[in-house]
Amino acid sequence: MSFPIHRFRRLRRTAPLRALVRETTTHPGDLVLPLFVDENADHPIPVASMPGVHRHTLASAVETAREAADLGIPGVLLFGIPGEKDEVASGAWADTGIVQQAVRALKRALPDLLVITDVCLCEYSNHGHCGLLGHDPHGAVRVENDPTLELLARTAVSHARAGADIVAPSDMMDGRVGAIRTALDAANHCDTVILSYAAKYASAFYAPFRNAADSAPQIGDRRSYQMDPANAMEALREIEADIAEGADLVMVKPGMAYLDILWRVKERFGLPTAAYHVSGEYAMLKAAAANGWIDERAVLIETLTAFRRAGADFIITYAATDAARWMRSP
């Protein structure tokens, strides 16, 4: 088939023409803002490796969420930093835990805000792992899968009881979605949505987050339960299993280095899918912008558009408020 000369360039000539034929759009309603809430903080504490991000008090978390909602951002994802940590991460499921307090405060102040809670043990355990520790037959320390499931389920139920709309297990234990769905239904929280970190890779891009949340492993690493970055088909098997266990939404994490995975997941399953623009990706963008090497606004919008083009229905990003502000202005 032959095309008339200049057909493509004619449609790129002006901004209104480009907007008219644009295939992918990104709006504030496509974004979710992560928030760190620190039980020990008496004022917002800047995170040095993530410019613009803070560890919040309950009051400042509510005000930051209010600002996001006013910009058209529909939801927040909560991470808690407890006052104390222990071997069994008891702060994760305590009804008086910092995330549970934050959920209640947010729902009182902003009842229409979607409140999503991260369900994991790493931020609450004194060893920094996402599950309970035990030993293999040779005496080596390992993360115990099945005993961890009960605690993850208790955590999800406590979040739902506090008012969370969506619980998001990020631990990567086998069977966690099924255990959480069963526990939620038994506790009469049948309407609570599960967003599974279904394809969560053992990535080097998480380092700034671990500093912000004080959640780096004290022993070993997480490669025995998070996914090998070299694997793609495994991600599809992980997601298929989570959907079968009752996941309502699925996530690919990290985002930028895994756009191929995001595309495959959306094409294969068609389930509402999130991309997580993770801390390292955010920090690199901020550092390059601070040095004058890139146009922060242009690169951020291009990055978020890439997630949407690859199949993301929504994007979790620390840059949500900046992006929403820029999207709303010419």
CA angle 22, 25, 26 (to 5 degrees): 160
Phi, psi of 78 (to 5 degrees): -95, 135
pLDDT for residue 6: 66
Q: Which of 85, 253, 266, 286 is catalytic?
A: 253
Q: Which of 85, 107, 200, 286 is catalytic?
A: 200
pLDDT band at 218 (very low <50, low <70, confident <90, very high): low
Residue 7 has pLDDT above 80, yes or no: no
| Residue 200: active-site member | yes
List the chain domain ranges: 24-328
- Among the residue ranges 170-179, 197-206, 222-231, 262-271, the one predicted with the least confidence is 222-231
Q: What is the mean pLDDT of residues 238-247?
A: 97
**To which H or E segment does residue 116 belong?**
strand 114-119
Q: How far is it, in rounded angstroms, from Cα 275 to Cα 253?
A: 6
Q: Percentage of the chain surpassing pLDDT 70?
A: 95
85-113, pLDDT tens digit by residue? Answer: 998 999 999 999 999 999 999 999 999 99
Please tell me the number of Cα atoms within 13 Å of 206 on its side-chain side. Answer: 19
End-to-end CA distance of the chain: 39
> Is the separation of the CB atoms in 225 and 172 below 8 Å?
yes
pLDDT band at 3 (very low <50, low <70, confident <90, very high): low
Residue 223 has pLDDT above 80, yes or no: no
268-320, pLDDT tens digit by residue? Answer: 999 999 999 999 999 999 999 999 999 999 999 999 999 999 999 999 999 99
Q: How far is it, in rounded angstroms, from Cα 120 to Cα 167?
A: 10
Which amino acid is residue 36, in one-letter code? F
Phi-psi region of 226 (alpha: psi -120 to 50; beta: other; left: phi over 0): beta
0.85 surpassed by pTM: yes
Can you tell me which residue has the tokens 């294969």? 268
> Is the separation of the CB atoms in 285 and 296 below 8 Å?
yes
pLDDT band at 130 (very low <50, low <70, confident <90, very high): confident
Residue with more model confidence, 42 or 216: 42
pLDDT for residue 209: 82
pLDDT band at 134 (very low <50, low <70, confident <90, very high): confident
Q: How far is it, in rounded angstroms, from Cα 312 to Cα 250?
A: 10
Q: What CATH class is the domain 24-328?
A: alpha beta
